[in-house]
Amino acid sequence: MKYIDGFREKDAALWLNRQIAQAGDQLAARGRTVHLMEVCGSHTMAVSRSGIRETLPSSIRLLSGPGCPVCVTDAGYVDAAIRMAEQGAIIVTFGDMVRVPGSHQSLADVRAQGGDVRICYSPADALRVAAENPGREVVFLAIGFETTAAPVTTLIPSARQADIRNLSLLTAFKRVPPALEALVADEEVQVDGFICPAHVSAIIGAEAYRPCVEGHHLPCTICGFEPLDILYGIVDLAEQLVSGRAELVNQYSRVVRPGGNPAALQLFEKYLTVCDASWRGIGTIPDSGMAIRGEFVDMDAARRFGVSTEGGRPDPGCRCGDVLKGKIIPPDCPHFGHACTPPHPVGPCMVSSEGSCAAFYRYGGGR
């Protein structure tokens, strides 16, 4: 299919590599090494799978950011879901969440002990489970960035229309732009430009990054997930840094519009409210979350069960927080590949298929 193969063409990739090398030489001649952060977990996986990291000159480095939704979900959130399962609720979740370690155990452990934890493909599956089990509480684990928050939020009006009252959402939605602001403000984090997420941007729109670009003089480029998309994004950011420019560039205009997806944004406006959110390994970031708005709070699982998502204690040796902030790359963590592997993950970045540690473990790429 041309909309796939055309974005993986080898000669174009070699041409883009040549442009990257030229920009890299110019940066190196000035004694500069620049750090570009790919914020999205799917970009991290695409970069690792295509081997892009290994083709870059030493003056251009790629860092993985906090863009894997499972990875940034707090241990306390997992603990709360486990308590709900222990109280007899049916937990419906995307597959990645099942093996994420909480403070003491994971949902997979709870399921092995007889807990009712069901993996779904679409949030709409939760409606079906709730309709089929009218005598039981059904909790959907509503995690994710704006891309996932939009489909999940449709559950609120859908449940009301179908008069399904035994379904609730345990929300831990995350918003990307405030996380970028927090990373830029962290003096320990070195970022010179962002490769902005593709499908988050489809929901929130390209203009959502304008404050970051103009407020911090930081180049931001929105890229698709294909290898040529990512290489061209790196060319753009490197050339901006060579010339001292900081611009917002939408390289994924075939999907991302300046103002985003109006239907999704209307859903957020009607059913959700912006709140502070706790990011695993990073801490609380102001305005970086979305919770259920007051009129619809009867669908908030934390409230319905009287369970808090705070106070989780992840493994003290886990350095996922430093990986998520781009302070280290996964091979720098002492657990990586030893105590922490995909079959036996210590931290969430090794669990999710989008996690940086899982990507490095599977495809290599340490430098």
Q: Is 159 in the site for another protein (CB under 8 A)?
A: no
In the complex, the smallest distance separating the C-beta of residue 67 from another protein, rounded to whole angstroms, is: 10
Retrieve residue 327's tokens: 């302070």
Q: Which of 26, 103, 105, 154 binds another protein (CB under 8 A)?
A: 154
CB 283: neighbour CB atoms within 10 A?
A: 11
Q: Is 148 in the site for another protein (CB under 8 A)?
A: yes
According to DSSP, the β-strands at 193-196 and 34-38 are: parallel
In the complex, the smallest distance separating the C-beta of residue 150 from another protein, rounded to whole angstroms, is: 6
> How many chain residues bind another protein (CB under 8 A)?
52
C-beta separation of 272 from 293 below 8 A: yes
In the complex, the smallest distance separating the C-beta of residue 327 from another protein, rounded to whole angstroms, is: 24
Q: Is 64 in the site for another protein (CB under 8 A)?
A: no
Q: Is 290 in the site for another protein (CB under 8 A)?
A: no
DSSP letters of 251-298?
TTTTT--TT--HHHHHHHHHHEEEEEEEETTTEEEEEEEEEE-GGGGG
Q: Is 173 in the site for another protein (CB under 8 A)?
A: no
Rounded distance, CA 241 to CA 233, Å?
12
Retrieve residue 252's tokens: 């994924």
In the complex, the smallest distance separating the C-beta of residue 280 from another protein, rounded to whole angstroms, is: 18
Q: Which residues 248-267 are close enough to bind another protein by CB under 8 A?
A: 253-257, 261, 263-264, 267
Q: Is 199 in the site for another protein (CB under 8 A)?
A: yes
Rounded distance, CA 11 to CA 289, Å?
42
Helix, strand or coil, per DSSP, at residue 144: strand
Q: Which of 23, 34, 39, 45 binds another protein (CB under 8 A)?
A: 45
Rounded distance, CA 103 to CA 209, Å?
35
Q: Is 42 in the site for another protein (CB under 8 A)?
A: yes
In the complex, the smallest distance separating the C-beta of residue 109 from another protein, rounded to whole angstroms, is: 23
Q: Is 202 in the site for another protein (CB under 8 A)?
A: yes
Length of the chain in terms of residues written: 367
**CB-wise, 199 or 304, nearer to another protein?**
199
C-beta separation of 218 from 246 below 8 A: yes
Binding span for another protein by CB under 8 A among 75-83, 116-124, 131-139, 211-219: 116-124
**CB-wise, 57 or 151, nearer to another protein?**
151
Retrieve residue 6's tokens: 């055309």
Segments in 106-145 forming alpha helices (H): 107-112, 124-132
**CB-wise, 15 or 133, nearer to another protein?**
15
Q: Is 23 in the site for another protein (CB under 8 A)?
A: no
Binding span for another protein by CB under 8 A among 142-150, 208-216, 336-344, 356-364: 142-150
Give the N- to C-terminal CA distance of the chain in Å, as an integer.
35
- Nearest-5° Cα angle at 15, 9 to 20: 120
Q: Is 74 in the site for another protein (CB under 8 A)?
A: no
Q: Is 225 in the site for another protein (CB under 8 A)?
A: yes
Instruction: Determine the residue type at 341.
Output: T
Helix, strand or coil, per DSSP, at residue 8: coil
Integer angstrom CA distances of residue 109 from 133, 140, 159, 210, 350: 23, 18, 30, 44, 17
Binding span for another protein by CB under 8 A among 2-10, 111-119, 308-316, 327-335: 2-10
Return the closest-CA partner of residue 41 out of 367, 362, 357.
357
Q: Is 147 in the site for another protein (CB under 8 A)?
A: yes
Retrieve residue 360's tokens: 């490095």
Binding span for another protein by CB under 8 A among 39-47, 277-285, 308-316, 331-339: 39-47
Rounded distance, CA 21 to CA 60, Å?
9
In the complex, the smallest distance separating the C-beta of residue 30 from another protein, rounded to whole angstroms, is: 26
In the complex, the smallest distance separating the C-beta of residue 11 from another protein, rounded to whole angstroms, is: 4
Binding site residues, another protein, CB under 8 A: 1-4, 6-7, 9-12, 14-16, 18, 40-42, 45-46, 94, 96, 121-124, 147-148, 150-152, 154, 197-199, 202-203, 224-226, 228, 232, 253-257, 261, 263-264, 267, 353-354
